[in-house]
């Protein structure tokens, strides 16, 4: 089939595109820049900004389904930039999908859309959106998710949203490289103690997108309940929560980086985040604050999720187990260190 993949030049989107091509699907990608690797993969690339309606229309025309991975991530930046990248672009794609009669739309969301600053222990999809978010990223992703799910049924369009938690693995541009660099510089500290979180190996996150795409069509032996995924959101992870300090510590130890022993209480880190946010906003400081309220709360609380719905409706299962994911990730980190990129 012909699938439009947004964000294919990024981490999860790139693996989604490769998996689709490997099984014989035609893939079209869209982004503001060029990605020669995608062209070599056999993807057809459309260049442009999805916040512009015409770009979305041109990208969608002639395709049969959309996997919308692209987003502005991070925890700091202007509200307007987050709105344009995460809300406007998504709405433009939805409008184009409805207009062109597409039947399937898979949206990459985030568990942070439900994060209220407290613990979420073995939570399921009944978890509500909070009254207030701590950062523009989860707020705009929540709004985009609402719109995607509300579009289910319009002109035959079937939609669903996936919420993979803390995606990691080879090619990770954010999570692990940042942690390794800070640990090497002696600037990493654990926040809180005893909390547990879900993580998701990148191949498993990408695999979930293909399963959702097929489930929306009611096709495939791995999707016994057919179209039950339509109009729903699903948490995705490895299925076994980890203690962040032990999990990251094992990776650091495997690549020869000294252990992190410094620990900060959550209230202290949260207060520091509030002060830094105020300073950055007041004085227009460049870059991202070393700490924000959102980051402190994310690192210092437990948030792990029940995968029953994803397993039941999408046929979700791990392609790569924890041990193999650890081995592959360590090998990649060692290569990055040897090349001087970490």
Assess contact for 291 and 278: CB atoms under 8 A.
Answer: no
Share above pLDDT 70 across residues of the chain, in percent, rounded to a whole number: 97
Indicate which residues carry an active-site annotation: 137
Residue 323, pLDDT above cutoff 80? yes
The mean pLDDT of 237-243, rounded to a whole number, is 97
pLDDT score for 219: 44
Residue 308, pLDDT above cutoff 60? yes
Residue 121, pLDDT above cutoff 70? yes
In terms of residues, how long is the chain?
342
The mean predicted confidence, pLDDT, of the chain is 93
Q: What does the pLDDT look like over 60-78, one tens digit per residue?
A: 999 999 999 999 998 888 9
Residue 185, pLDDT above cutoff 80? yes
The mean pLDDT of 281-306, rounded to a whole number, is 91
pLDDT band for position 220 (cuts 50, 70, 90): very low
pLDDT band for position 279 (cuts 50, 70, 90): very high
Closest C-alpha among 37, 34, 28 to residue 48: 34
pLDDT band for position 228 (cuts 50, 70, 90): low
> Lowest mean pLDDT: which of 117-131, 142-156, 275-289?
275-289
The mean pLDDT of 89-101, rounded to a whole number, is 98
Per the model's pLDDT, the better-predicted residue between 220 and 312 turns out to be: 312
Q: What does the pLDDT look like over 46-55, one tens digit per residue?
A: 999 999 999 9
The mean pLDDT of 145-171, rounded to a whole number, is 96
pLDDT band for position 28 (cuts 50, 70, 90): very high
Assess contact for 214 and 25: CB atoms under 8 A.
Answer: no
Task: Report pTM.
Answer: 0.94
Strand blocks (E) in the chain: 2-6, 26-31, 44-47, 65-68, 104-108, 120-123, 158-164, 167-168, 190-191, 200-201, 232-236, 263-264, 303-305
Residue 225, pLDDT above cutoff 90? no
* Domains, the chain: 2-168+200-238+305-319 (3.40.50.720)
Backbone phi, then psi, for 66, in 5-degree steps? -130, 135
pLDDT score for 288: 86
């Amino acid at each position: 089939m012909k699938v439009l993949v947004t964000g294919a030049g990024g981490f999860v989107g790139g693996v989604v595109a490769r998996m689709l091509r490997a099984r014989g699907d035609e893939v079209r990608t869209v982004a503001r820049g060029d990605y020669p690797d995608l062209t070599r993969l056999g993807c057809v690339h459309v260049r442009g900004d999805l916040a512009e309606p015409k770009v979305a229309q041109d990208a969608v025309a002639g395709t049969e389904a959309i996997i919308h991975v692209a987003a502005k991530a991070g925890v700091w930046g202007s509200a307007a930039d987050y709105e344009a990248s995460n809300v406007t672009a998504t709405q433009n794609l939805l409008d184009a999908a409805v207009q062109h009669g597409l039947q399937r739309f898979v949206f990459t969301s985030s568990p942070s859309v439900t994060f209220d600053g407290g613990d979420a222990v073995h939570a399921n999809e009944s978890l509500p959106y909070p009254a207030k978010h701590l950062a523009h990223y989860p707020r705009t992703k929540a709004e985009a998710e609402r719109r995607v799910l509300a579009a289910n049924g319009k002109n035959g369009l079937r939609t669903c949203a996936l919420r993979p938690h803390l995606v990691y693995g080879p090619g990770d541009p954010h999570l692990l490289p940042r942690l390794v660099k800070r640990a090497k510089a002696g600037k990493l500290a654990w926040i809180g103690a005893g909390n547990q979180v879900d993580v998701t190996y990148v191949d498993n996150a990408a695999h979930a997108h293909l399963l959702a795409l097929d489930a929306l069509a009611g096709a495939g032996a791995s999707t016994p309940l057919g179209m039950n995924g339509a109009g729903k959101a699903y948490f995705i992870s490895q299925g076994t929560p980890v203690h962040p300090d032990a999990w990251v510590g094992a990776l650091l130890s495997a690549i020869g980086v000294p252990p992190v022993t410094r620990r900060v209480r959550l209230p202290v880190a949260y207060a520091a985040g509030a002060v830094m946010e105020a300073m950055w906003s007041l004085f227009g400081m460049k870059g991202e604050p070393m700490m924000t309220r959102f980051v402190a709360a994310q690192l210092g609380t437990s948030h792990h999720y029940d995968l029953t719905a994803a397993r039941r409706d999408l046929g979700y299962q791990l392609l790569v187990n924890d041990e193999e994911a650890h081995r592959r990730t360590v090998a990649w980190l060692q290569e990055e260190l040897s090349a001087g990129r970490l």
